[in-house]
Amino acid sequence: MDKKEFYKFFKKIPKAEIHLHSEGIISKETAGKMLSRKHPEFKNSENIENLFSYNNLKEFIKAFLLIQKSFEELSDFKALFNNISTYLKRNGIVYTELFFSPSLFVKNGWKFENMMDVFLKKIKKIKRKEKIEIKIIIDVSRTFGVDNAMKNLDALLKYKNKNIIGIGLGGDELKGPAKDFAKIFTKAKDAGVHRVAHAGEDDGPQSVWDAINLLYSERIGHGISSIQDESLIEYLSKEQIPLEICPTSNIFTKKYVQKIEDHPIKEFYKKGVLVTVNTDDPTFFNINLIDEYWNLYTKLGFDLSDLKQIIINGFKSSFLSKVKKERYIKKVNCMWKKYLPKNNTE
């Protein structure tokens, strides 16, 4: 299948994206407008381009925090959600579990509930207008310490809304080991809040074990260093603990993978691990979800039926109810049959 045909076809197949940071979907145009209010140098598009290029996870986090700092009023979140809606539509994504990291905002005086009010209004609107479902996972963050993470969980528990479904542990993996956050994740588990954690992105396989055993993480964000530990691969496969793999993000941060052809996703897939494909931060990594599928198809030896399975894995790994998962998967199969070019020979 050629590139044009592939993109046209994949746009029509309903997809889920389950590892996606809301701030990472801001368009360069919106980022430029917001940043240049305080930093006029960002009126220059070259400086915006430079902001979105980095060599490691630390530099990336620095850029991410600068974007967060550029939010000045609640209407900025509305602009962000307009960008999110555009991104989801462009990629044929019908369901997403979206991270939001409130720590820096709250530190700067924003009220958690005020931000969530705007989010939920926009989520409702997008669902009505575009038929796209968005759920929120609060990233409690390794970077801002344990007390702050607990405050984030408490804010979530107090706010209570069916569209805010879980907590995640993101931020600097090397500085914030899982064991420090165990009591927060135990409390979340007891309260029936879903749990995910970035692990094995910037640290070795032990970090993945810790996310599973100490944080009760139901999915692993990235998890690519698991490839170094055969018993971990076996465990992930046996327990069907999903990996939220973000191939291009891993190449940008350059910790375990230097080029797409060397990404371990195919090996995980072959060994029966429940792998999903995601973009992490589309604007920061200059990537769309369909681009990731195209890369898998052209550079990593996945055929079309593998890609269909990975699309199905996205729904399977989500926190949707069993009934809803089945409904979406049925739709994938149906659209696949309907739109797969008749003359396709792979």
Say whether residue 280 binds Zn ion (CB under 5 A): yes
Q: Is the torsion defined by CA of 58, 59, 65, 68 positive or negative? A: negative
240 Cβ contact partners less than 8 Å away, ≥ 6 residues apart: 274
H-helix segments, the chain: 3-12, 28-35, 45-51, 57-69, 74-90, 103-107, 112-130, 146-159, 182-190, 205-213, 230-239, 247-253, 265-270, 289-299, 304-316, 322-339
With CB atoms as reference, the residue minimizing the distance to Zn ion is: 280
Stretch that binds Zn ion, among 149-157, 186-194, 223-231, 277-285 (CB under 5 A): 277-285
In the bound complex, what is the minimum distance in angstroms from residue 77's beta carbon to Zn ion?
A: 19
| Residue 20 CA neighbour count, 13 Å, CB half | 29
Say whether residue 291 binds Zn ion (CB under 5 A): no
Nearer to Zn ion, 92 or 168 (CB): 168
Tell me how far apart the alpha carbons of residues 98 and 128 are, in angstroms, rounded to a whole number: 18
Stretch that binds Zn ion, among 56-64, 80-88, 274-282, 305-313 (CB under 5 A): 274-282
In the bound complex, what is the minimum distance in angstroms from residue 99's beta carbon to Zn ion?
A: 7
In the bound complex, what is the minimum distance in angstroms from residue 221's beta carbon to Zn ion?
A: 5
Q: Which two tokens stand for residue 209?
A: 């074990």
Say whether residue 244 binds Zn ion (CB under 5 A): no
Q: Is the torsion defined by CA of 99, 104, 108, 111 positive or negative? A: positive
Nearer to Zn ion, 280 or 291 (CB): 280
Residue 31 near residue 329, CB atoms below 8 Å: no
Stretch that binds Zn ion, among 57-65, 80-88, 155-163, 272-280 (CB under 5 A): 272-280
- String of contacts with Zn ion for each residue 219-238, x by CB under 5 A: --------------------
Nearer to Zn ion, 32 or 249 (CB): 249
Stretch that binds Zn ion, among 47-55, 160-168, 280-288, 321-329 (CB under 5 A): 280-288
Nearer to Zn ion, 9 or 195 (CB): 195
# residues contacting Zn ion (CB under 5 A): 1
Tell me how far apart the alpha carbons of residues 200 and 185 are, in angstroms, rounded to a whole number: 18
Nearer to Zn ion, 22 or 85 (CB): 22
In the bound complex, what is the minimum distance in angstroms from residue 137's beta carbon to Zn ion?
A: 10
Nearer to Zn ion, 14 or 168 (CB): 168
Between the alpha carbon of residue 253 and those of residues 93, 259, 275, the distances in Å are 25, 11, 20
Q: Cα angle vertex 246, ends 21, 136, to 5°?
A: 25
In the bound complex, what is the minimum distance in angstroms from residue 180's beta carbon to Zn ion?
A: 19
Q: Is 201 a catalytic residue?
A: yes
Catalytic residue among 133, 201, 244, 292: 201
| Binding residues for Zn ion (CB under 5 A) | 280
Show which residues are catalytic.
201
